[in-house]
A = this chain, B = another copy of it.
Amino acid sequence: MAERSLLNQLIDALRCLPGVGPKSAQRMAFHLLERDREGGARLARVMADAMARVQSCRRCRTLSEHDLCGICANPKRDASLLCVVEQPSEIVAIDQATDFRGLYFVLGGRLSPLDGIGPDELGLDVLEGRLRDESIMEVILAISPTVEGSATAQFIADFAARHGVKITRIAHGVPLGGELEHVDGGTLALAFAGRRDL
Contacts and interface: CB of A to CB of B under 8 A. Distances in A.
Interface stretch (A84-92, A110-118, A152-160, A168-176): A84-92
A2 B69 CA distance: 10
Interface residues of A, number: 52
B69 A5 contact: yes
A60 to B, nearest CB: 13
A92 to B, nearest CB: 7
Q: Is the interface of A mostly helix, strand, loop or mixed?
A: helix
Interface string A7-50: 10110011011110000101111111110110111111111111
B47 A63 contact: no
A54 B33 contact: yes
Interface of A: 2, 5-7, 9-10, 13-14, 16-19, 24, 26-34, 36-37, 39-54, 63-65, 69-70, 73-74, 87-89, 92, 181
